[in-house]
Structure 1
Amino acid sequence: MSKKKVALIIGAGDCLGSAIARKFAQNGYHIVATRRRGDLDNLVTEIKNAGGVGEGRHSDARDEDEVRNLIADIEDNIGPIGACVFNVGGNVSFPLQETTTRVYRKVWEMCALAGFLMGREVITPMLKRGQGTIIFTGATASLRGASGYSAFAGGKHALRALAESMAREFGPQGIHIAHVVVDGLIDNPNTKDLFPDLFNQKPVDGIINPDDLADIYWDLHKQKRTAWTFEVDARPYSETF
């Protein structure tokens, strides 16, 4: 079994999730990075080339059995999970009357149900050790709904409520639960495709650098118990709010 603690990154996409994985790997954590589909080889190679230890798993965070088996396998065969980051997205935009039941349910499953399953399963081994960090990635939609974002806002509101409830339940037992509100565009191909006009309007340093954002996750994890942060909102200097 690895002697290093494990950092589990649920939703390790090509942007923020990968940046968080790299950050924790740089600081000595064995990385287990998951995503439902897509390439994880590049991330694992980056981590290993930088002298870190990591592996990728394809896993559907909405599937109860897959989440349960993932956590059990890590704890039994790799090492203790010291930090877990839930970074599943779900950002879609449809007028309300064009939002199908299927879309709304899928976004809720991605944002809220998956977060619940991950939180419920990973909290048990952390409680046995009396320590651990769980960080949920939120968005502007976690705090306010916008026109066309009923599904996304509903899912992210639910995720924030989950994080807040978990923080109040498990903080006194030694588990640090935090929620990061990402209020701004992150520099990655997906957001460029979704918001091309906004990208063209922003200054070069007016888009969130994922590596800079990953520093916040690491700082949250390293906070002392005497001064824990539950929620932090992050935005580039040029973002209006």
Structure 2
Amino acid sequence: MSLAKAVVVGVGAEDGLGAALSRCYASNDRHVLVAGRTLAKVERVAASIRRDGGSATAYAVDATREEDVIRLFDAAMTSDELGSPADLVTYNAGLNQKIDFRQMEASTFEEFWRLNTLGGFLVGREAVRRFVPLGRGSVFFTGASGSLRGMPGFAHFAASKAGMRMISQSMAREFGPQGIHVAHVIVDGAIDGERVKSLFPGVSEQLGESGMLNTKAIAETYWQLHLQHPSAWTQELDVRPFKEKF
């Protein structure tokens, strides 16, 4: 039987959340389109899925380029030897950095908006364009604590993430009645991966056991969202370590 496809946009490091989402979906009988900016990185993730018996294809995609996103969804919604049309899309791309508001260039603010907001719009738009005629499908967005509040030095990040949250809410209200499950997942805390550990040396020791978000556990939350019955859909939820203050 042909596998349904799933799309994960925003895959980087092999121990990152995008990779964990891709592995989770593959382990649940999906052919995964593993998409990210760097082909070498996404191919390593796709190859690891195939080695473990799953099905995955790597795609080099710049989520801020409309033509790249359209090309990805053309592949995702085609029935071929890899699988049947996708029923699950996740936008996991994001950019974060602390910057003094007074020193920020307009081009930097725009760069954050393009990836954190415009990319989410483009992926969300193409997903519902393809899903609405079918009357089914899930579209999930990865948010952050900055989606809800702006902290000192993170105005650019909060503005762009809040924008994506509003896209998610509007999509859910417009397309939920048409059978499309749109959800926003707020990831509140440090993700346990090499990227965070390299940026913040000693963070694991500081936060202690289970003080960082486990990527497999986060990914399982997304999968459970996809399995929800339409009479009880979740539009937004948050995940955080039990030690995290909020």
Aligned residue-pair number: 240
Residue equivalent to 1:217: 222
Which deviations, in whole Å up to 9, do the C-alpha atoms of 1:13-41 show, x marking residues without a partner? 22000000100100100000100125122
Residue equivalent to 1:120: 125
Residue equivalent to 1:237: 242
Match of 1:7, SS?
A: strand
Aligned-partner residue type, residue 71 of structure 1: F
Aligned Cα root-mean-square deviation (Å): 1.3
TM-score, structure 1 as length reference: 0.96
Residue equivalent to 2:29: 28
Aligned-partner residue type, residue 113 of structure 1: L
Match of 2:78, SS?
A: helix
Which deviations, in whole Å up to 9, do the C-alpha atoms of 1:52-73 show, x marking residues without a partner? 1101100100001111122113
Which of 35, 39, 42 pairs up with 1:40? 42
* In structure 1, distance between residues paired with 2:202 and 2:160: 26
* In structure 1, distance between residues paired with 2:43 and 2:67: 24
Residue equivalent to 2:59: 57
Which deviations, in whole Å up to 9, do the C-alpha atoms of 1:108-155 show, x marking residues without a partner? 000000000011111112111100000000000000010000111111
2:184–2:237 contact (8 Å) kept in structure 1: yes
TM-score, structure 2 as length reference: 0.94
Match of 1:66, SS?
A: helix
Aligned-partner residue type, residue 12 of structure 1: V
Q: Structure 1 stretch 67-76 or stretch 15-24: which is displaced more?
A: 67-76
Aligned-partner residue type, residue 71 of structure 2: N
* In structure 2, distance between residues paired with 1:67 and 1:178: 20
| Unpaired segments ≥5 residues, structure 1 | none
Shift, 1:3, TM fit:
2.2
* In structure 2, distance between residues paired with 1:107 and 1:197: 27
Aligned-partner residue type, residue 7 of structure 1: A
* In structure 2, distance between residues paired with 1:41 and 1:137: 22
Which of 83, 87, 91 pairs up with 1:86? 91
Residue equivalent to 1:12: 11
* In structure 1, distance between residues paired with 2:75 and 2:160: 28
Segments ≥4 residues shifted beyond 3 Å: 197-200
Report percent identity of matched pairs: 37
* In structure 2, distance between residues paired with 1:80 and 1:145: 38
Match of 1:137, SS?
A: strand
* In structure 2, distance between residues paired with 1:225 and 1:164: 16
Aligned-partner residue type, residue 90 of structure 1: L
* In structure 1, distance between residues paired with 2:151 and 2:43: 36
Aligned-partner residue type, residue 30 of structure 2: Y
* In structure 2, distance between residues paired with 1:155 and 1:193: 24
